[in-house]
Structure 1
Amino acid sequence: MQNKIQTSLKNYNSFGIDVISKKFISINSKKELKQAIRSCKEIPIILGEGTNILFKNDIKRTIIKIDIKEIKITEEDDDFITVRVGGGEKWTDLVNWAISNDFGGLENLSLIPGSVGSAPVQNIGAYGVEIKNSLEYCETISLSDLSENEFSNSDCKFSYRSSIFKERFKGKYVICYVNFKLTKKNHKIKYSYEPLKKILVENGVKNPTIQDISKYVIEIRRNKLPDPSKIGNCGSFFQNPIIGFDQFEQLKKLYKTVPSYLISENKIKVPAAWLIEKSGLKGIKKGNTGTYEKHALIIINNGRASGQEIYNFSKEIKNTVLRNFNILLKEEVNIIYQ
């Protein structure tokens, strides 16, 4: 366990926001986590890789960074493995481990930044797959009484980019380990998502392997998303809104080619990037921030923006989209105020 005071968080968040943490603790085990929580006078802020977080200003509360490392197969039969993964492992490292060992289930989630422990919180997903499709259960510690609890897949109450840890139990539990069930053979390859299907066809891949899926997902992401080590960003700043069928029909009268994805009989998902782009906000600059030229859903930091400046710009985007389409965008990024 490491303790620091008056620590810059510039290297601990992918936006590269240079704010100061009054107290910063990194932990490597459940035991150290409990010790760290006991030392806090108020509820701490739990930090993973900082790839889905915006610090608006300096942080007065204690920050606890989860650095629990482990990738261990705990159960195995002819068809499946169960693997226990420390919350401090990088998500990309887990996916790469699975792909290299020919374990299926995570390939569509290649190159998603962040830590394993934070992934279930927002039910990360990409190209037709979400973490809920392979997650067995989470091992957690309560911030209030230090009790250890397991949350099964159903306990997590997964929904689009959300879970019980982002809603009802937000800020109440720390995910220390995540257990996954992955396939050893007869992998369920998913490539119905149009951009992925298109790139496979272009490269003459008719029967893709999990390695193929991972390879081309990575290629797609690298072509359209900025590298946080070069351009500060947190990926998608907003969630794709889900609207009712009647509202979608009204939208379609104005824009016949509006892209959409059917969620249920009367719910339709519309790309937030499309709404932002149609509002004339793709690739614009505003002071030290702006939207990425290749993807309207990504807010960037040119290296000098403050958290407050990025936050204010995000509010302008929300207000413009609401005014133009009567659709209120919801942040995917977790905004920390103090």
Structure 2
Amino acid sequence: MSPSNAPRFSADYPLRAHNTFGFDVRARLACEIQHEAQLPIALQAAVAAGLPRLVLGGGSNVVFTRDFEGLVLRMTLRGRRVVGEDDHAWYVEAAAGENWHQFVCWTLEQGMPGLENLALIPGTVGAAPIQNIGAYGLEMSEHLVSLRALELSSGEPVVLTAAACRLGYRDSFFKQEGRNRFAITAVTFRLPKAWAARAGYADLERELVAQGGAARPDAQAIFAAVVAVRRAKLPDPEVLGNAGSFFKNPVIEAEHFTLLREREPGLVSYPQPDGRVKLAAGWLIDQCGWKGRALGAAAVHERQALVLVNRGGANGTQMLALARAIQNDVTERFGIVLEPEPVCL
């Protein structure tokens, strides 16, 4: 590697612009990773200095409660390309630092639909498998083929198949046994040529009608509807600090659901293929009276109770205190423990 491409380190690095809550925290050391070859060098430096490491993409799924006393690896690798095609699908690869929404836009521009329901989800491509992002009836796991990563302890590159990533509802190998063990560098997706619209969610149906109401909407129409719905319901992190949905939608056993619905007839629910039932966490929170309420500058968004926001000057500790208060009320009323989506540091 030439000296000009060697990783550059910055001390006492401000992270306010690198977490979507906008928390004013700093890292003892930070390094921007623009090429895969820079990662082993940066990791060796962290080991030599005895520093913990944190892999950071767009910062859209993290809650910093304090300064990070270690090395932050800012993953800004770029690139997207078609790596294969057969009679049934296209295979596309994107580098970890690519903006997820822009990647979705690019696939549609190339005439390769399939990811349109996941439009406008904040974050990077590299973070998508960790969370197994999903929205409006689609999860990223349905299109994942494989990913490239670097093992942090050894600096060795690995390729993991979709099966090895063990993707579940907002869950993956990288949040369990693989937690803090890998830095994802590139992800490959399969986009089937036999495309079928997914527009079964009420919000999407209403928006599609408002936009013209085609009997058989194409991928671009669904993309536009998803973007419109998300912009109407969710705050822009550039304007109001947030990490999107703060809590997972709880999935409960059918017996529990039956008992709960007898007491709460308005319960919003979605039957699952395995017989369990997914509940709308936002509805549970709203029923507990939290929509629009605040604890200091940490608040629940007035249009979407699933989103916690920084109204200005809040810190991570205050945001977690708000989250705990919401969890306590939901547990007391419904007997359900809400699980946060973001990683708390």
TM-score (norm 2): 0.94
In structure 2, the gaps of 5 or more residues are 1-6
Distance in 2, matches of 1:186 and 1:201, equals 24
Q: Which residue of 1 aligns with 2:207?
A: 199
Q: How many residue pairs end up in the alignment?
A: 335
Q: Which residue of 1 aligns with 2:234?
A: 225
Choose the corresponding residue for 2:314, options 302, 305, 325: 305
- Superposition CA RMSD, Å: 1.2
Choose the corresponding residue for 1:216, options 213, 225, 244: 225
Choose the corresponding residue for 2:75, options 66, 76, 84: 66
Q: Is the 8 A contact 1:104 1:188 kept in 2?
A: no
Counterparts in 2 of 1:14-25, with a 5 A limit?
A: 14-25=20-31
Counterparts in 2 of 1:155-194, with a 5 A limit?
A: 155-183=164-192, 185-194=193-202
Alignment of 1:28 with 2:34, yes or no, is yes
Distance in 2, matches of 1:264 and 1:222, equals 30
Distance in 1, matches of 2:203 and 2:314, equals 32
Q: Is the 8 A contact 2:39 2:155 kept in 1?
A: no
Q: Per-residue deviation at 1:266?
A: 3.5
Distance in 1, matches of 2:89 and 2:281, equals 37
- Bigger Cα displacement from structure 2, 217-226 vs 58-67: 58-67
Distance in 2, matches of 1:100 and 1:229, equals 25
Q: Is the 8 A contact 2:52 2:69 kept in 1?
A: no
Q: Which amino acid aligns with 2:207?
A: I
Q: Per-residue deviation at 1:265?
A: 4.4
Alignment of 1:254 with 2:263, yes or no, is yes
Q: Which amino acid aligns with 2:38?
A: E
Q: Is the 8 A contact 2:207 2:228 kept in 1?
A: no
- Bigger Cα displacement from structure 2, 192-201 vs 285-294: 192-201
Distance in 2, matches of 1:335 and 1:264, equals 31
Q: Per-residue deviation at 1:182?
A: 1.6
Distance in 1, matches of 2:332 and 2:268, equals 20
Alignment of 1:146 with 2:155, yes or no, is yes
Q: Per-residue deviation at 1:197?
A: 2.3
Which string of whole-angstrom CA distances, capped at 9 and with x for unpartnered residues, describes residues 236-288 of structure 1?
Answer: 00000111112111211111121101114441110110110001111102111
Which string of whole-angstrom CA distances, capped at 9 and with x for unpartnered residues, describes residues 38-79 of structure 1?
Answer: 111244010000011110011102110111111011112354
Which string of whole-angstrom CA distances, capped at 9 and with x for unpartnered residues, describes residues 97-150 of structure 1?
Answer: 011112011110000010000000010000011111111101011011112111
Q: Per-residue deviation at 1:81?
A: 1.7
Distance in 1, matches of 2:38 and 2:325, equals 42
Q: Is the 8 A contact 1:14 1:51 kept in 2?
A: yes
Distance in 2, matches of 1:172 and 1:95, equals 27
Q: Which amino acid aligns with 1:316?
A: A
Q: Which residue of 1 aligns with 2:140?
A: 131
Distance in 2, matches of 1:282 and 1:251, equals 22
Q: Is the 8 A contact 1:102 1:210 kept in 2?
A: no
Structure 1 counterpart SS, 2:165: coil
Q: Is the 8 A contact 2:51 2:69 kept in 1?
A: no
Distance in 2, matches of 1:285 and 1:160, equals 29
Q: Per-residue deviation at 1:193?
A: 2.2
Counterparts in 2 of 1:99-114, with a 5 A limit?
A: 99-114=108-123
Counterparts in 2 of 1:228-243, with a 5 A limit?
A: 228-243=237-252
Distance in 2, matches of 1:194 and 1:39, equals 51
Structure holding more helix per residue: 2
Q: Which residue of 2 aligns with 1:12?
A: 18
Q: Is the 8 A contact 1:43 1:143 kept in 2?
A: no
Distance in 2, matches of 1:6 and 1:316, equals 33
Q: Per-residue deviation at 1:178?
A: 0.1
Structure 2 counterpart SS, 1:112: coil
Which string of whole-angstrom CA distances, capped at 9 and with x for unpartnered residues, describes residues 167-219 of structure 1?
Answer: 11111111100001123x43122112222123223431211111011000000
Structure with greater contact order relative to length (CA < 8 Å, sep ≥ 6): 1
Structure 2 counterpart SS, 1:296: coil
Q: Which residue of 1 aligns with 2:89?
A: 80
In structure 1, the gaps of 5 or more residues are none
